[in-house]
Structure 1
Amino acid sequence: MDASGPTDAPLRAPAPPSGPPSETTGGMLGSVRYLMMASGLAFVLVVNGLIGYGIVQRRHEALDAGERATRDLARMLEAQALRTVFAVDQLLADLAFALNTHAEGRLPDSPAIHEHLVQRRNAFPQVAGLVVVGRDGEVLHHTADTPVPPFRLTDRGFFTAPRDERAGLEGRLHIGGITTSRVVQGTQVIPFSRRWSVPAETGGEAFGGAVVAMVDPSRLATTLESMRIDQEGSVVLALADGPVLLERPRPTHRDPLLTLSQWPAVARALEGHSEATIRDAAPDGPENLISVRRVQGYPLVVAASLPSADALADWRRDTAAWTAIGAAMTLAITLLTAFVVRQHVRREQDQARLAAASRRIRGILDSMLDAVVTFDDSGRIATFNRAAESMFGVAETAMVGQPIDALIPEGGGHADDRDLMARRHDGHAFPVGFTVSELRLGRRSDAKAEAPADAQRVFVGVIRDMTRRKQQEAELVASKTQAELANRAKSEFLANMSHELRTPLNAIIGFAEILTSEFFGALDDRQMACARDIHDSGEHLLEIVNAVLDMSKVDAGQYELHEEAVELHEALGQCLIMLRDRAASGGVEVRDGTAGIAATLWVDRRAFKQVILNLLSNAVKFTPRGGSVTITAESDAAGGFRLTVADTGIGIPAEFMGELFQPFRQAENSASRRYEGTGLGLSISKNFMDLHGGTLSCRSVLGAGTAMTLHLPAARVLNGGGPVAGNAPSA
């Protein structure tokens, strides 16, 4: 190729750089790479440092918010407990005053006092019962509906604590731990009690007993839960000396707390303080934010806790998000830095690859066996590979710029994939295959991308010398013609020979029948057996000759159908009569299942009977003694006719089914096979059905039997009185 040719310029790759980059360029590239990498690393460190600082600060803020929430929760619980306890304290104080002012206050089982106690109890939902205990520890009054059994309560703390008050401390409210009530049988209560002071005979006041309010813990818990504080965390209400009165929500994974000593951190937090907020492990293990407060004026302690994990839930979610953002930014900066650094290197690599690709493409074109020619819209040749130079006997330099018509006179119209005549430089014409494809310069690598409207078009033509192929095609046509002539001669020879053989065979069969009829005199047993053998052999040979004659006519295309209306029962009956003796001698039962079917078919009588007889003969021949052959007929959905001959014989091997209808083929081909025959019956039957536009099919199971089915289209079925629909034959 002439590299200086103007028409060759569009296909040439850009020239590679004249030499390797200079040391200065390499130094600049190294410095840019270093600066970009250092800048990216610094930016990543700053961003991740800020994110880490924000995460740490956010954690402190989340924990502080959790502590505030527990303090608010503890204050709410303290306020509610204070209101409830104060109300019960006032109730007991009023009750002690009423006992001193009422005439029956010191008399046991007073109905008036009982009514007053019931009314006061009903006014406080948290109070399960009210009890007045005398100075001797016996119950004087109560709110129970049944009489209280006589017993002393001197062993109960709610009685002994008011009784043993020191001087100056009278009138304090005493709260006991959860206990089982003796007054209200079977209930758990929290006893609230006050000293009942009565006027002394010597002046002043004396101990008259104790007034007790039995608070229902469940009612007290309901009051607390009405504030929905249990949805913010867990709360505990306990006595100052340790016993736990309430714990909400109730734990499901551990036993409830009985005393604050089971939570040492809470007990230590109140040493010397009225309130405290700490972080410590809960009894169930996880760290909690805990706020503890003493109820002002009463011996109660409230503790509210919030799991640190719950307080940090939002922080963890935000931390995961900011961590992902930091990782994404780190990855993005890293990839961007690597991308920018590699651009210059890739540019040089692309230029080197482009030059190598140009050389490789040119080498591929020159190594091709077919001629490859490129030309422009006007048909002017741009490139010409070595195979083209060898094929046309002319150098590329002489052909560049010449019209494509100089090579292929008929190719000026850019013919595609055609067999044309080409002309060598010496003027000799020869056949070629010419394939043309269009190439738009400037199109991107994406096949779906469109080239610019002004992109230059180049046509690539592939020329293949077809001289040898044309010679082979001519030889193949000649061989095919000779084979067809030989096949036709064979068929005509077989037809003529079969016709010539039938005349003497008819004579042999006729004379054998005369001998067996003893027309010329009586024969002894041996002579009679010989005459019958001659007759049977002649009949068998005549069947073979007729089959060969029919096959030859079909192969030669000389068999003509003589169509007429044929009754199914008539044709089938004649075939059954001819087969009756053979079936009886073989011990095979033939069952005719077409008795209820009347059908008239438009067929060649002889060919149709021959098909039925062949199917019945094979079924009887290949069915062992004691077996059966069944004939059935039916119409199909399209109005066609279907006849099936099914036997219980030996069946056909699966590997032989592909050759079943081939002439002269049998499942047993050895010289010692058990069943006689030429292997033409099914082949002739198949050809006869094809001539009628029908089909012949087979279903067989080795060792179980075979079913042969012939099918005629609806056009072959005339009107009949049975289930087979009638149709007139087509013209």
Structure 2
Amino acid sequence: MISDHRKTLIIAAIASVLVLGIGVSIWQAERLERAASRDWLDKGRADAARMTDTVIFWTSKLEISLRAVAGQLRAQGSLDQARFEDLVDDVKNWDTGIRFDNFAYARRIAKTNRAAFERAQGAMISSVGDFRTPAPDDEEQYAVLLRSRDDGLIRINASLTTHKAMRSAILAAQRLPGDTILGPAYEGVDGDWYVPIAISTDLVGSSGVLVATIDLEVFFDALMANRLPSGMQFRFVERDNEARSEARLIPVFGAIEPPPNAVASEITRIAFGKAGWNLNWDILPEYRGGPDLTSSHLVGFGGSFLTILMVAIFGVLSFQNMRFHRLVQQRTAELSQHAMVIQLTMDTIDQGFVVWNSDYRLVVWSRSCVEFWYKPMGILRIGMHMKELLVHIAENGGLGDGDPVVLAEQEFQRVAAAGARSGESFAMMDKRSIHVRRFPLEKGGFVSVYTDITKQKAAEESSRAFNEKLERQVEERTRDLRHAIDEAVFANRVKSEFLANMSHELRTPLNSIIGFSQMLKDKVFGGIGGKKNEDYIENINQAGNLLLSIISDILDLSKIEVGEENLSESVFDVAVVIRECITMVKPRADSKSQSLTLSSEEEALQLQADQVKVKQVLLNLLTNAIKFTADGGLVEVRLARNGAGAIEIEVADNGIGISAEDIPRVTNPFEQLGDAMAQHKEGSGLGLALSKRLMGLHSGDLKIESQFGSGTTVTITFPPERTVRKKQPKAAQ
């Protein structure tokens, strides 16, 4: 048991710590509170300085704006009342933040010129505010010639120097040409406070001043809106410095003295021309929510609370020490029991589990590990170093041939370098394959997991051999296929060259046959012996022409396939070429009573292409359309430009059409469809194939849309870059 003396010492220590901790917390809280109040007032002074700078800035903008108006006034040369009002309206749009209440231009009238001026004006020069009373007979007057509005003080012919505030600003402006001068504040007839601002200026050779008035309430309301912080109050006091040893203070907004609840007041004294202003910024208790006393309260209350809490904890811990000691003994016994359960669980698993601490010493292991370590039963123990176990494994041949100690050191260094998150596979002396994987523990050390992968590795070897066999077979098939493709390409080229040579050799005798048959047909050598012979000669001539056309198509197709066909490009009108082709095939369409038309969305579309080959494509498409359209049918050619700017030509008919499965075949060379097309036997089956390849030479496209029994539409499209913009004619000079 704790002695009474020790209890007394503990209680005394607790009381001392308690008093000292609470005292320090209160002292620190008061210091932080004073610092927070200083920071709060510094922010208020900074805001007051910022607001003062804003007032100075906007007052300067007033002066700049008035100087700009004076410049505009001088540039006018002469003004009447209407033009002056228009000028003032324009000023309002220069800067919406600048608000003048009134404008007036006053001419300087010398005493000697007063009578002449009054005769010219038809009215006397009156006093400001009393328009029935003439102005005093002074050396000079500043009579209003133009004004933006009648505010009860500024009226036409009123002498502004009869008004104290305006006189002060005008005379100073006259003495300082080019400067803008603010005058003292004055109370208007409406009870509001105004300040005049003047600048000397000339108009049509006469000397005068431009005077503007500013409504101070409007001016400061606009400034304070969204700028004056909450909890800060503004008071505006003017200093009247004229003829007094001490300036008289005139309250304009608010009182001269700050309110009783003001914590502090910042006063800024500024002067603009003849105006002396005191800007008073009162910092009220609610400014920015008051000083931030969070830290001081936290330190005061929190420190005291923590002191009490720590003292309480210390006392409780002192009396709980023995109780915790008893609990530790109980928990140690329980943990020993749990360790036994864990060991039994690990021993029932096929995989080997072992835990190493951060010093590479054994902590716990499963029974399976003993087999993988070559049964080190006599030396295995908790705390055993990994090197000692590796020496045993090396002595049993598990690390190869050599000195066991050296081999064990090398293996240990390798494991240490690999780290706690690593793994590898190894073979045992009995040919088993073992994989070990290491996993780090949060508090240091690692767990090693041993797995027998003998069967898995055998399966992988079998799978690898099978994959290698498949790869060899694929490589052989690929080589055979590549050889077959090369032979097919060579055979196709030989075929194309043979067709080209044969077509060239056949054209010479065919031309002779066609020529002689034409001469016989035209009876160049006289009669040919009756109508029957004439029919024979006609058949010979037609057959020769048809055969020559087929041979020409074969020759063209062969040239394209062997890469010998070139384009002879030029720029031409597509519609003109289409009409020429229509003219060439129209007799055949007329013989079948067919309607052959052309529709175009745009005129004079220019195309850069091989004109002869474009005609060849169009003639093939038109001939096919006429051939496979019944008597009395319709064939229409449509010319347009698509959204990408490419020229498209459609040849549409309402003929027999093509079935969907036959469309891919019709562009193959020598392809003629049977059944429904059997009655149209003439032709080689090369027209569409040749047309598609000719469009390919132009980087274009040939597309077929058809429905069996309803007709066919063939569309050829040239790339946009082949469309040539037509030059616009130059305008007449």
If the length of structure 2 is used for normalisation, what is the TM-score?
A: 0.36
The TM-score, its normalising length taken from structure 1, stands at 0.36
- Relative contact order higher in (CA < 8 Å, ≥ 6 apart): 1
Structure ID, larger Rg: 1
